[in-house]
Each structure stands twice: as C-alpha cells, then as structure tokens.
Amino acid sequence: MTQHFETDSRQMLGRLRAVMAEDAAGQQRLDRITQLIAEEMRTEVCSIYLFRDEDTLELCATEGLKPESVHETRLKLGEGLVGRVARSGVVVNTDDAPATRGFRYMPETGEEAYSSFMGVPIQRLGETLGVLVVQSKQSRRFSDEEIYAVEVVAMVIAEMAELGAFVGEGAAMSARHQQPVLFRGATGQEGAARGHVWLHEPRVVVTNPIADDPARELERLHEAVETLRVGVDRMLSTAASGDNEQLKVLEAYRMFANSKGWMRRMEEDIERGLSAEAAVEKEQSAARARMGQVTDPYLRERLHDLDDLSNRLLRILTGQGQETGAEMPTDPILIARNIGPAELLDYGRKLKGVVLEEGSVGSHAAIVARALAIPLVIHASRITTEALNGDHILVDGDQGVVHLRPDDSVVAAFRDKMAMQAQAQERYASIRDKPAETLCGQRISLHMNAGLMADLPSLEGSGAEGVGLFRTELQFLVRAHMPKRAELSELYARVMDAAHGKRVCFRTLDIGSDKVLPYMKAVEEPNPALGWRAVRVALDKPGVMRMQLQALIRAAKGRALSVMFPFVAQREEYTQARAEMDKALERERILGHPLPETLEVGAMLETPSLAYAPDSFYKEVDFLSIGGNDLKQFFFAADRENELVRRRYDTLNVSFLTFIEHIVARCATHDTPLSFCGEDAGRPIEAACLAAIGMRMLSMRPASVGPVKSVLRRTDLGELREVIHTARADGHQSVRPRVMEYLKGKL
Ligand code: PEP
Ligand code: MG
C-alpha cells in the first residue's frame, strides 16, 4: 500500500539551522541532523554516508541503524543502493528495498528490517560528497514533495560540509580543501613548476544557506536577476558586432536570465526555506551535474554559460566581486576552467604554470602557454572546485599531473626532479654557442618556433639559429578586431629587428579548423580539420592575405624576407598564393616602398598529397617545411586533439618514417631545402631519428633547442640510421625500443 506523508521542509530547514548554530562538535551535529530528519520525515531511519576517499563511502551518522556500525560500515562506489546513488548522482526511491536492483545486505547495520528506502546525493557544485538516506519499515514510496524536501536538506548539508561544520575523526569527516589531491590531466606544455594557486575566477562562498523570510529572499532574488538582466543587455549592446562567439554566449545569457523555468525552480527552493544565494547555487549544482553527463559540445557550452551566469548572479547577491581582496602569490599557478589567449597573455610572464579543467593541446591558450614557456596541464577535472587561493601546488607538465597540497614526500621527489632539470639546463647552457654537430660531423640547423613578440628574447638564450616558424595567427587570435595593416607591419618589423638579422620565416595566417577568429563569420563545418582552413580561406577570400603580404614586405624595409603558406595540398594552391605575393611586390614597387633584398617563398607540407605533387612543384617552391603535427594526423587519420587517439600512433612508426624518407629523397633530387617544424622536432629522440633519415633543419619551441642539440652532439647518424633500418627489416612496428636502446646514456 502506498501512503503519502506531508513534510514541511521550511520547518525542517529551520530546525537544521538551529542545529548548525549550536556549539557542537562535527559528529554531534551530524547525529542531531539524522535525528531531526528522521523525525520530520516520520521514518525510523536517517543516515548520512560521506566519502572517505575517492571510491569508498562511510556511514558517518545514523538514527535507527545499529550505532556500532557508524564509521564501520563502508561501501564502494556503485555498491548497494547507497553506492548506486553516489555513482549516478540520481535519487533512488523504492518501497521494497531488498527487492531493488543493487540492494546489498549489511548485517552489521540491521537494515534488513526496513522496506522503504530513499537515497539522495549530497552534492555541491556538481561534486558528490556523500548520500543522505531515509528508510522506514512500512512499505511506502516517498512523494515528489518529500524527495524535494530531502534534496534541499542535502544541499544545505553539502554547503555546511564545505564550510567545515562536520569536521571530526577519520578521513570521511576531515576538513575539506586540506587534504593532498592528485589530478591526472594531460600535457599542454611540458616543464615542471612549483607555486601557489591563483584562481582565475574566485569562487563565491555561500555562508547563509537557510533563510526564514521567504518573501524577503524572493525580493532579493528578483532584484538581483533584474540587475543581471540589465547587465547582460548592456553587454549585448556594446559587444563587438562581428564577434560571433561572444554574441552567442551573451544571447545564451539573456535566454537563461529570462528563463521562466530557471526562475521558477529558484523561487520554489526559496519557498522551501533556502536563501536566495543557496537557491542559485542549488540550480548551478544541478547544471554542473548535468554537464558531467552531456557529451554534445553545443549543450555543454550552454551549460557552461548557465554556470557563468549563476556565478554572476551569486556575485550580485553576495556582493563578493571578482576582487576578493586576495593577493596574488609571488609564484602564481593559474587555475581556471578554461581561459582565452588574450586573458592568458594579460597575466604574461608572471605565471609559473597553468592548470585548466578543459582546454586542448591545440587551443589558443595552449599556444600562448607554449610561447610563454610555462608548463600547462589540461583536463584536470574538478580542480577549480577543489583548489583554494594560496594552496601549495606542483605542476608536472611532462606527465600531465598536478599535486595539490602535496605532502612532504611528494614535495621532496618533485624538488629532485626540478633540480635535475636545472642541472640539465646548465648543461644545455654550456653548449649554447656550439653548433649542433653530430659525432659523424654532420651539422643540423636548429631553429625555433615563435608567434608572439614575447618569444623573441628566447632567440638569444636558446641558441637557435633563427625562427623557422613564426605563427602569425596568434596576433589575429588575441585581438577582438581584425588588426590593421600598419599595426601588423610595425609588429613584423619589430620581430625582424629583435632577430638581429637571423632568418625569420613568417607563416601566413593559418586559421580555420581549431583556430577561429572571433570577429570573422564562423562557418559551420562538419569536419573543420578537413575543412575551409589556412591557404584555402586565403585563396577564396584573398583580402586578408593581401593585407598581410603587404605588411610583411613593408616590415622588411628592404631586408631579406622569408614567407611560407600553410596547409598547401596541391601545386596550384602554391602557384596561386605565390602569384598573390608577386602582385603584392608589384603594388609595393609602384607605391615606392623598398622591396626585400632577397625573398624566399615556401610551402608547408602538412597533407600526404603534397609528398606526391609533380616534380614541377618541388622545383617551383623555394623551400618546404613539414608541419608534422598536421601531417601526422592526416597520415594516421587520428585527430591531433582527440585524447582518445592522439597518442595511439608513434611518430617513430616505420610507416611514418618511411614516408618522411620519401619526402627527403624527393627534396634531395630537386635540391629543395627542407625543414621540419612540428612538435616532434623538439623531442630529442624523434629529432635524432629525423636527422638520421636525412632532415637537416629542425624548428622547435625554444626550450627544446638545448636538449635536442645535446643528444645530436652525442649521436653518430650513420649508426642510428643502421639501427632504424635493422628494426624496420626485423618487422618492428615502431623503431622506438631499438632507438632508445641505442641512445641510452646520450639523452
Ligand atoms: C604543424 O602542423 O606541424 C604546424 C607546425 O602547424 P600548427 O601546429 O600551427 O598547425
Ligand atoms: Mg599545421
């Protein structure tokens, strides 16, 4: 038989607040809470389970189960009905618990006597902290109203746990944000850093989750939402008209700010006794929990927008601004969900490291972090909810690992790692002015990749002979508007000045795919990496490329100029792009500007098709540069930004090496200068192999020049070539194990 009992959630919250106000220890508080919930819900049992580690829940307080089972009964995530609630984040409500899928009999608690079961996750901002359970002997299914009441209580318990209200004995009741936490993310930029947390978006802390005057709280909510709406409208009216991404976000803000459903849910929460800010946070938490389950990128973005909007609303309600009064530490490690390139550049070289919850290897933020040479870890899930400003933190960009509030043994190991790196740096500094000459006497030309003015000082320090790849799109990406020709020409001139006569190879704008300019009309493409990008855009809409070529010629002021076109897939694309260069030269000549004393115009080989272009192409180009990042993704058909596949295929796979050898041979036949400028050029083992199969010029990030030079100077290319050939002849898929064996002691 199903019976309904009405619960007055406002009364329950009122009593809860009284318990919170009592001067009691954490355990006592939890005990009192389970007691009062059982009373209010008219159930024999109320229990609170909290996580003691990532996947174990511990019974921390109970009214009705055997007291001796408290702190003794433990469940794995997913185990029993409680474990199921914790894992799924979804309420379980049944009138026949023993017959329900997943039920697990725990003799020590004596719970077999209870038929009805309702388990509600205790969640804060999408993170499950534990499970709140009510049980009764009588077979009854709890009403929606009752579930809602328990959810509201669970939310308040989560809030109190965050504030340290239940600190007591044992791991499950330890204070939050004090334990060491290890985050396993992915490498965005190599390197190690030690410092203190600086949150890009400081969190709002809700200290008053329960309110006793709903009318007043509703008024506060309405006023705050009105302020929010006015603010969003103002942002919309001043937003850059061409900035589609920004407009999309602001439109989503407006939609949510006017959403009746969102408003109604918050009003209902307030009527049940929550304060206005707790109601906002409850909705925010629900959106975050949904975010974890949604895979559709568009929906995820919108849920993020709702999250941002909730933060804005919380700031209005609490008066806690972006400025929390906290002082940036002297060794800041920036923690953010995600960050744009311009914002990251604003922090500049102050930062010791960056950790993002999202991001991608090819994102603009990653490119800027690389340019600034700061370690970056991406995909550090949940770090923005766990880290607090000022927390001690170690970032291992090589492994993609972050240690938050590390214990002494981790700190000691990390210190050793950093000391070893410092020693290696000293070794590299001692060979900085020596050539990258191998044991067999072959000179390899090492250049660096750059994309910002901030990169140029590294040219001296790294020992690079020049800039083999200057990615010009960064200047376009970090601006809100299309840069003017005069601005670009001034910047390029400064880059050439800073290079002091060393070669700088400017790559024309490489946009499309992952690099979308905020102020250009976005094109919806099913497969952007294979889509309208780089030289394809430049040839179809030549205005920007013409402006850029003119800016480059003017910047050269009669000096030598080196330019290459990205993503050329067939000869005609190069021919047409080169014709644009010729036209630009002619225009500049007529206008009376000095022409470059020498000009070399090359192409990037980033698609397999170009390796098989006609001989005439190889004769026509002044040089070729292999963009290994793209070339490899198309060779193996494996997205360079997809974590599921991007590490699957080794650069030292014999198929890929044989393919590169083919390109080397064709370039040799036609005397076409060839270089390699993808990330692999900066990895010592890969670089040595590329040199062994005939590559004579490598361009890499500045910090890699030392390590690559060091290994090349200890390597005999003839011997290494032999190792590669033998491994291939022996049928190995990758030559890496044999090469590693050979290079042992040289790295
Ligand atoms: C490449 O593809 O290897 C390359 C150097 O270009 P980007 O990484 O900028 O696409
Ligand atoms: Mg590329």
DSSP string across 461-478: HHT-SSEEEEETHHHHHT
What pLDDT, on a 0 to 100 scale, did the predictor assign at position 244?
A: 66
Q: Are 535 and 566 in contact (CB under 8 A)?
A: yes
Per-state percent for the chain, helix, strand, coil, to nearest 5: 50, 15, 35
Q: Which of 119, 118, 115 is nearest to 96 (CA)?
A: 115
CB 625 within 8 A of CB 602: yes
Our mutation pick for probing the ligand 1 site, out of 470, 630, 636, 695, counting the most ligand atoms within 8 A of Cβ, is 630
Q: Which two tokens stand for residue 105?
A: 């009999």
Residue partners of 604: CB distance under 8 A and separation at least 6: 507, 564, 565, 566, 567, 568, 624, 625, 626, 627, 630, 677
Which one is predicted more confidently, 491 or 108? 491
Helix (H) or strand (E) holding 621: none
Taking residues 51-65, what's their average pLDDT? 93
SS3 for 264-280, per residue? HHHHHHHHCCECHHHHH
pLDDT band at 2 (very low <50, low <70, confident <90, very high): very low
For ligand 1, say whether the CB of 305 is within 6 Å of any of its atoms. no
How far apart are the C-alpha atoms of 691 and 722, rounded to whole Å? 13
How distant, in Å, are the alpha carbons of 365, 382, 384, 477 from that of 343?
9, 21, 17, 11
- The Cα-based distances of 644 to 185, 640, 649, 734, 744 in angstroms read 13, 10, 11, 20, 30
3-state secondary structure of 355: strand
Residue 722 confidence class, pLDDT cut points 50, 70, 90: very high
Q: How far is the CA of 399 from the centre of ligand 1 (A)?
A: 22
- Give the start-end residues of each E strand in 97-184: 116-124, 127-136, 181-184
Query: pLDDT tens digit string along 417-471?
Result: 888 888 888 889 899 999 999 999 999 999 999 988 777 877 888 899 999 999 9
Higher pLDDT, 326 or 376: 376
How far apart (Å, rounded) are the C-alpha atoms in residues 727 and 289?
50
d(CA 631, CA 367): 18
Does the Cβ of 628 fall within 6 Å of ligand 1? Answer: yes
Which is the closest atom of ligand 1 to the Cα of 628? 3
CA distance 656 to 276: 60
Q: Using alpha carbons, select from 373, 530, 545, 541 the residue that is nearest to residue 472.
A: 545
Q: Which class is 2-162 in CATH?
A: alpha beta
Distances (CA, A) of 531 to 458, 517, 524, 528, 648: 34, 15, 10, 4, 23
Nearest ligand atom owner, CA of 629: 1
pLDDT (mean) for 372-395: 92
Pocket test for ligand 1, best of 530, 535, 625, 629 (most atoms within 8 A of CB): 629
Longest pairwise C-alpha distance within the chain: 96
510 CB under 6 A from ligand 1?
Answer: yes
Q: Is 629 in the pocket of ligand 1 (CB under 6 A)?
A: yes
For the whole model, what pTM was predicted?
A: 0.75
Q: Tokens 């540069």 sit at which residue?
A: 625
pLDDT at 192 over 60: yes
Atom of ligand 1 nearest to the CA of 627: 3
Going by CA atoms, what residue is nearest to atom 8 of ligand 1?
A: 629
Q: Identify whether the C-beta of residue 697 lies closer than 8 Å to the C-beta of residue 704.
A: no
d(CA 587, CA 673): 28
- SS3 assignment, position 77: coil
* Beta bridge partner(s), residue 507: 471, 564
- The string of pLDDT tens digits covering residues 201-243 is 887 888 889 988 999 999 999 999 999 999 888 888 876 555 6
Residue whose CA is at the smallest distance from ligand 1 atom 9:
471
Q: How far is the CA of 567 from the centre of ligand 2 (A)?
A: 7
Residue 93 has pLDDT above 80, yes or no: yes
438-444+624-671+673-747 and 472-603: identical CATH topology? yes
Question: Residue 5 — very low, low, confident or very high, per pLDDT cuts 50/70/90?
Answer: very low
Q: 678 CB less than 6 Å from ligand 1? A: yes
Amino acid identity, position 274 = L
Q: How far apart are CA 547 and CA 556, in angstroms?
A: 14
Please provide the CATH number assigned to the domain covering 214-318. 1.10.274.10
- Residue 384's contacts (CB-CB under 8 Å, 6 or more residues apart) are 199, 201, 203, 335, 336, 337, 357
Fold type of domain 181-202+324-419 = Glucose Oxidase; domain 1 (3.50.30)
- Residue 314 buriedness (CB in 10 A; 0-12 / 13-18 / 19+): buried
Please give the Cα distance from 363 to 513 (Å, whole number). 11
- Measured in angstroms, how far is the CA atom of residue 651 from the centroid of ligand 2? 16
Cα–Cα distance between 275 and 218 in angstroms, integer? 9
pLDDT single digits (tens) 271-290: 988 999 999 999 888 888 87
pLDDT in tens, 657-681: 999 999 999 999 999 999 999 889 9
| Domain 472-603 of CATH type 3.20.20.60 | yes
* Residue pLDDT, tens place only, 683-700: 999 999 999 999 999 999
Going from the Cα of 630 to the center of ligand 1, the distance in angstroms, rounded, reads 6
Task: Using the atom order of ligand 1, give the atom closest to the CA of residue 629.
Answer: 3
Q: Nearest ligand, CA of residue 514?
A: 1
Is 465 a pocket residue for ligand 1 (Cβ < 6 Å)?
no
Asked whether 677 lines ligand 1 (CB < 6 A), one says: yes
Provide the β-strand partners of residue 653: 734
Which pLDDT does position 4 carry in this prediction? 43
Give the Å distance between the CA of 630 and the centre of ligand 2: 5
pLDDT tops 70 at residue 514: no
Amino acid 3: pLDDT: 43
**DSSP assigned state of 351:** -
Residues with a known catalytic role: 364, 677
Q: What is the mean pLDDT of the chain?
A: 90
Buried b (16+ CB within 10 A) or exposed e, 316-331: bbbebeeeeeeeebeb
* Nearest ligand to the C-alpha atom of residue 361: 1
Give pLDDT, residue 1: 39
How remote is the CA of residue 605 from the centroid of ligand 2, in Å? Answer: 9
Quick check: CB of 596 below 6 Å from ligand 1? no
> Counting ligands in written order, which one lies closest to the CA of residue 470?
1
| Domain 438-444+624-671+673-747: CATH architecture, name and number where available | Alpha-Beta Barrel (3.20)
Q: Sketch the domain layout of the chain as residue ranges.
A: 2-162, 181-202+324-419, 214-318, 438-444+624-671+673-747, 472-603
Q: Residue 683 Cα, ligand 1 centroid: separation in angstroms?
A: 15
Mean of pLDDT values over 625-652: 92
Q: With a 6 A CB cut-off, is 269 part of the ligand 1 pocket?
A: no
Question: For residues 503 and 467, is the Cβ–Cβ distance under 8 A?
Answer: yes
606 lines ligand 1 (CB under 6 A): yes
What type of residue is 627?
G
Tell me how far apart the alpha carbons of residues 239 and 244 are, in angstroms, rounded to a whole number: 10
pLDDT for 6 equals 56
Percent of the chain at pLDDT > 90 equals: 61
Residues 9-50: tens digit of each pLDDT? 788 888 888 888 888 888 999 999 999 999 999 999 999 999
Please tell me which residue, 162 or 439, carries the higher pLDDT value: 439
* Helix (H), strand (E) counts: the chain: 27, 22
Residues in the chain: 747
Q: Is residue 589 within 8 Å of 612, Cβ to Cβ?
A: no
Measured in whole angstroms, how far is the alpha carbon of residue 195 from the centre of its chain?
19
d(CA 407, CA 181): 10
Q: Are 443 and 436 in contact (CB under 8 A)?
A: yes
Q: Cβ of 171: how many Cβ atoms within 10 Å?
A: 12
